[in-house]
Amino acid sequence: MDNFAIDHNSVLPLHLQVEEMLRKLIEQPEYQNGKLLPNEVHIARKLGISRNTVRQAANKLVQERLLVRKKGVGTKVAKNSLTTKLNKWTSFTHEMDEKGVVFKNYSIKVSLVVADKEICSLFNIKEKTKVIKLERLRGLNKGPIVYFISYFHPRTGLTEKEDFSKPLYEKLEKEHNVTVAVSKEGISAILANKNLAEKLHIKIGDPILFRKRVVCDPGDRPIEYNLGYYRADSFTYTIDIAKD
């Protein structure tokens, strides 16, 4: 911390600078081993900024469970128990949202296909019924992250000519009066085959997080059958089992 300086002229807000500083600081073995961090007042004075700003920065790390504070005692690095690093992915997407960096579509393909047995029994429709199939490759600017395949129940009224570049669930709600709620999910890990490897810009045999999902309306009627293939590097996945 000693050889670290705040740049008051930087476009980066002070609290973000301090946050970065703290992240680096707490990597040091002493702090990993449970030594108390310098106290807030001390840090503030040392960096020549307000205590509030230091707190604002530290709050972020507390929120991420990297730090634990104890009134009257001090602040230290959280025991690296199993829960550490847990919220990496969710907070990542949230931050992207906040900064306006959004998931974008790399490519979209819409087709009308004959539903296979699994889909027919899931959707409870006659065999050989045709359904809309949507394939999307999505990711950030730096590259694709997930490859989605979706099948939609005829009930949705979606057609082949639909503009699928708009946000999907928003579209369903607004234009087709269909509200959604996930009901069942299953996840597993698979290895990339040639097709997936090319799409996701990874090597054949690289790990992929595979998610199978049935999206239903509030009445628990299936709306969408969704297959997601995620690049597994640095990926944290969250499932919601809550019913209410």
Cβ contacts of residue 138 below 8 Å, gap of 6+? 103, 104, 105, 106, 144, 145, 146, 147, 148
Choosing from 1, 25, 39, 169, the residue that interacts with DNA (CB under 7 A) is 39
Q: Is 100 in the site for DNA (CB under 7 A)?
A: yes
User: With CB cut-offs between 5 and 8 Å by kind, which of its own copies, DNA, none does residue 50 bind?
Assistant: DNA
As measured in angstroms, the least distance from the Cβ of 29 to DNA is 19
User: With CB cut-offs between 5 and 8 Å by kind, which of DNA, its own copies, none does residue 72 bind?
Assistant: DNA
The H or E element that residue 193 is part of is none
How far apart are alpha carbons 197 and 207 in whole angstroms?
A: 10
In 3D space, the residue among 132, 133, 230 whose CA is nearest the CA of residue 185 turns out to be 230
Token pair recorded at residue 30: 């002493």
- Helix, strand, or coil (residue 226): strand
Choosing from 9, 72, 124, 203, the residue that interacts with DNA (CB under 7 A) is 72
Angle among Cα 12, 18, 22 to the nearest 5 degrees reads 140
As measured in angstroms, the least distance from the Cβ of 47 to its own copies is 21
- Nearer to its own copies (CB atom), residue 39 or residue 93: 93
- Nearer to DNA (CB atom), residue 39 or residue 236: 39
The bridge status of strand 74-77 relative to strand 143-152 is unpaired
In 3D space, the residue among 236, 168, 227 whose CA is nearest the CA of residue 196 turns out to be 227
List of residues contacting DNA (CB under 7 A):
11, 13-16, 36-37, 39-41, 48-53, 55-56, 69-75, 100
List of residues contacting its own copies (CB under 8 A):
63, 65, 68, 79, 81-83, 85-90, 93-94, 97, 169-170, 180-182, 186-189, 207, 209, 215, 232-244
